[in-house]
Amino acid sequence: MSKTITQKIFEKHLIEGNFEPGKEIAVRIDQTLTQDATGTMAYLQFEAMGTARVKTELSVSYVDHNTIQIGFENADDHQYLKSIADKYGILFSQAGNGICHQVHLERFGKPGKTLLGSDSHTPTAGGLGMIGIGAGGLDVALAMAGEPFYLTCPRVIRINLNGALKPWVSAKDVILKVLEIFGTSSNVGCVIEYDGDGVKTLSVPERATITNMGTECGITTSVFPSDEITREFLKAQGREGDWVEIASDKGAEYDRVIDIMLDDLVPMVACPHNPGNVKTVKELEGMVVNQICIGSCTNSSYKDLMIVAEMLKVNKKHPNVSLVISPGSRQVLSNIAINGALADLLDAGARITEPVCGFCIGNSQSPQTNAVSVRTSNRNFFARSGTKDAQVYLLSPESAAAAAITGKMTDPRHLGIEYPQLQMPERFYTDDSMIILPSLVSSEIYRGPNIGEPPHNTPTPDCIQGVVTIKVGDKITTDHIIPAGSRMKYRSNIPEYSKFVFEIEDEGFANRATAYRDSGKHNIIVAGIGYGQGSSREHAAICPMFLGVKAILAKSFERIHAANLINFGIIPLTFASDDDYEQINAGDEVIIADVRKLLTENIPLTVKINDKEIAVNYSLSERQRQILLAGGMLGVVTSKLAHLDISS
């Protein structure tokens, strides 16, 4: 039988179930990655499992998100992570070594392997022909403890990339086109597999730009074949030995096949406040721009920065704009320092940051009031930049550099300059001295005052009785639920971080929810379509759990967030009829009776709102219902792992 790349890799890793789209399967995870903002919670949970050392082929702990270090909190977290890595057999990539996805691509990714990461952009690794999946920290902790990862077996969509990109059009424009076709919701449970003759014209980092932003479509992951281009990339990293060929079989069947003619693409831009609001750059040409940010895990590779440097070599930045450049990794930064491009960027007036997430997560470089900020990153959700009324546009490095030169939104094809011809190095300068190998001897774990306990939930009650504490609309992202940016330093301190739940939607939410919880009432959230888009941060489940949220009633949920809700004992319910959403208001009294009995028997629940009964659905496997009954995964896991005695 002819197989897709996705099926081939999944089948090699199957532990439970068969490759039947729509059914729950369990897969073996070869590699894990964590980043510091989700990592502390993941490792606190890993510690609670009592495993002596990680059971994966490779686990890497990166520090790239919380590197601002105003106050002791970030530095304390870094020390905690370092000591955990040392004790449990994890590689530790220190702050300053680069953004997890870029470094993983350069130094660790291997075609054909599975990678689970506590960051939603883990699918970046699909550019190397591996299956990279984003998940909550608890799921990653379980994978490190040797447990399989459970997911819904995906449907596979094939996108044929045909022809070749024209000058000034690049990988970002390809994925923005894909986002225009797919949108950002209703794609749960799919993998996009890229093929076609145009694939051969794209380097691994270009492929990774495309797989990185597949996340914004809400799909499980994206994957490219592993071919001669992949081998060339690995060779330039001194890792040719990690190469294997991976291709789909002739005649493999796909759920859907889409053709994109690369020659027809033009520079594109995603407009505020969603990566799916795609237009052409030409349509916005002339709009005054205040800030340009180039970098993030989407577009911060050597080639991205070299193109920008070449464009800025002869044209300095416009005096009215702030130009920020964040290299993706220390390797990228070193290579552009060695070849002189860094000096060109500095000469042009760019502000160079250390290789971290920084501006992308609103952790620095927040733009001015009412600013127009154009960025090469992957998310432009409301307020994510740290400035509530900023308008953030997402585009390619070429289009971003064009705006930096003119001070206006500019189609780079209209600049009147030649498209830079770049020679890629046959061998990158590499230096892994900021990746610390574990000693496995130390048992001392550093815990500063910022490190709290992983919170446990209570088992799901028989009757959920409380209040609709908030009613929100469609496409509520995890950035709406629990902000990052300046609040992110509380990631390891749940009571403190919980004070900011829904801060940008409704400042009174946390106090109201706390008061209801303390008076013995449960909190219920009502939402529209695509609830929980965006990040994998399980804090968007843990903090509401801490505030006493027991159920969320939505038109639909995004994959990672739904899994996180279940892991922390919050029931994700969907309306049987979406019209009922209109019947509910914030403040309404809610009763959901016989919850334990009905969940056990897999029977739909009924929600009584004031005096009206509303039918709701859930689609949960036996395993997920058991987790919910127990009030979350941590309790289940600690007892199960203790029973299995996997600590040796």
Q: Which residues bind ligand MIC (CB under 6 A)?
A: 37-38, 65, 119-121, 134, 361, 379, 484, 534-537
Compute the chain's Rg from CA coordinates. 24
- Beta-sheet strands, E only, within 472-536: 522-527
Query: Which of ligand SF4, ligand MIC, none interacts with 63 (beta carbon under 5 to 8 A by kind)?
Result: none
Report the candidate in 342, 324, 319 with the shortest Cα–Cα distance to residue 405: 319
Residue 116, φ and ψ in degrees, nearest 5: -115, 130
CB of 375 to ligand SF4, least distance (A): 10
Closest approach, Cβ 95 to ligand SF4, in A, equals 13
Residue selected from 159, 204, 297, 494 as contacting ligand SF4 according to rule CB under 6 A: 297
Contact between 306 and ligand SF4 per CB under 6 A = no
> How much helix, strand and coil, in percent to the nearest 5, is found in the chain?
35, 20, 45
Single out the residue of 144, 190, 270, 360 in contact with ligand SF4 (rule: CB under 6 A): 360
Specify which residues 475 forms β-bridges with.
none
User: Out of 361, 390, 409, 472, which residue is the one contacting ligand SF4 (CB under 6 A)?
Assistant: 361
Contact pick of 5, 54, 81, 99 for ligand SF4 (by CB under 6 A) = 99
* 99, interface contact from ligand MIC, ligand SF4, none, CB < 5-8 Å by kind: ligand SF4
> Smallest distance, Å, CB 176 to ligand SF4?
15
| Two structure tokens written together for 414 | 């209209």
Q: How far is the CB of 65 from ligand SF4 (least distance, A)?
A: 6
- Cβ proximity to ligand MIC: between 120 and 230 the closer is 120
d(CA 407, CA 31): 43
The answer to whether the beta carbons of residues 312 and 412 sit under 8 Å apart is no
List the single partner that 204 binds among ligand SF4, ligand MIC, none, CB under 5 to 8 Å by kind. Answer: none
Q: What is the 3-state secondary structure (H, E, C) of 535-602?
A: CCCCHHHHHHHHCCEEEEEECCECHHHHHHHHHCCCEEEEECCHHHHHHCCCCCEEEECCHHHHHHHC
Residue 38 touches which of ligand MIC, ligand SF4, none (Cβ within 5-8 Å per kind): ligand MIC
SS3 category, 111: coil
Q: Tell me if 392 contacts ligand SF4 by CB under 6 A.
A: no
Q: Is the peptide bond between 273 and the residue preceding it cis, with omega within 30 degrees of 0?
A: yes
Beta carbon of residue 215, minimum distance to ligand SF4 (angstroms, whole number):
8
Cβ atoms of 325 and 317 closer than 8 Å: no
**Alpha helix ranges (H) inside 255-374:** 302-314, 330-338, 341-347
Distance CA 177, CA 396 (A): 12
Question: Dihedral through CA 482, CA 486, CA 489, CA 492, nearest 10?
Answer: -10
| Token duo for residue 453 | 């306990």
Residues contacting ligand SF4: total by CB under 6 A:
11
Q: Which does 413 bind (CB under 5 to 8 A by kind): ligand MIC, ligand SF4, none?
A: none
User: Residues 557, 562, 568, 569: what is their CA dihedral angle, to the nearest 10 degrees?
Assistant: 70
Residue 105: CB minimum distance to ligand MIC, A = 15
Q: Which of 34, 40, 237, 296 binds ligand SF4 (CB under 6 A)?
A: 296
What token pair was written down for 331?
């390797």
Q: Which is nearer to ligand SF4, 204 or 356 (CB)?
A: 356
β-strands 589-592, 605-609 pairing: antiparallel
Please report how close the Cβ of residue 219 comes to ligand SF4 at its closest, in angstroms. 16
Cβ nearer to ligand MIC, comparing 33 with 400: 33
Nearer to ligand SF4, 121 or 303 (CB): 121
Nearer CB in complex with ligand MIC: 230/535:
535
Query: How far is it, in rounded angstroms, from Cα 394 to Cα 173?
Result: 10
Q: Can you tell me the distance from the alpha carbon of 45 to that of 38, in angstroms, rounded to the nearest whole number?
A: 11
Q: Which does 296 bind (CB under 5 to 8 A by kind): ligand SF4, ligand MIC, none?
A: ligand SF4
Instruction: Identify which range of 176-184, 355-363, 495-503, 593-601 contacts ligand SF4 by CB under 6 A.
Output: 355-363
| Cβ burial 13-44 (10 Å sphere, 16+ → b, else e) | beeeeebebeebbebbbbbbbbbbbbbbbbbb
The tokens describing 295, both together, are 């970098």
**Smallest gap from residue 270 Cβ to ligand MIC (A):** 15
Q: How far is the CB of 117 from ligand MIC (least distance, A)?
A: 8
DSSP 8-state class, residue 613: E
Pick the stretch among 329-337, 356-364, 419-427, 495-503 that binds ligand SF4 (CB under 6 A).
Answer: 356-364
For ligand SF4, give the closer residue by CB, 322 or 377. Answer: 377
Query: Which is nearer to ligand SF4, 62 or 516 (by Cβ)?
Result: 62
Type of residue numbered 542: I
Pick 5 or 99: Cβ nearer ligand SF4: 99
- The interface mask with ligand SF4, positions 140-179, x = CB under 6 A, is ----------------------------------------
Distance between CA atoms of 98 and 101, rounded to whole angstroms? 9
Alpha-carbon distance of 368 to 565, in angstroms, equals: 35
Min separation Cβ 517 and ligand SF4, Å? 31
Nearer to ligand SF4, 357 or 451 (CB): 357
Q: Is 121 in the site for ligand SF4 (CB under 6 A)?
A: yes
Residue in 96, 135, 176 with CA at minimum distance from that of residue 380: 176
Residue span 6-45 as binding mask against ligand SF4, x where in contact by CB under 6 A, dash where not: ----------------------------------------
What lies within 8 Å, CB to CB, of 643 at 6+ separation is none
CB atoms within 10 A of CB 604: 11
Residue from the set 307, 357, 470, 472 that interacts with ligand SF4 by CB under 6 A: 357
Q: Does 570 bind ligand SF4 (CB under 6 A)?
A: no
Q: Is 378 in the site for ligand SF4 (CB under 6 A)?
A: yes
- Give the range of 75-83, 186-194, 353-361, 586-594 binding ligand SF4 by CB under 6 A: 353-361
Contact between 61 and ligand SF4 by CB under 6 A: the answer reads: no
Q: Out of 106, 119, 206, 538, which residue is the one contacting ligand SF4 (CB under 6 A)?
A: 119
Say which entry of ligand MIC, ligand SF4, none residue 537 contacts (CB below 5 to 8 A, set by partner kind). ligand MIC
Give me the least distance between CB of 69 and ligand SF4, in Å please. Answer: 17
Cα–Cα distance measured from residue 397 to residue 30, given in angstroms and rounded to the nearest whole number? 33
- Alpha carbon 186 to its chain centroid, in Å, reads 17
Number of C-beta neighbours around residue 474 at 10 A = 15
Nearer to ligand SF4, 361 or 551 (CB): 361
For residues 258, 259, 260, 261, the Cα torsion angle rounded to the nearest 10 degrees is: -170
Residues that bind ligand SF4 (CB under 6 A): 65, 99, 119, 121, 296-297, 357, 360-361, 377-378
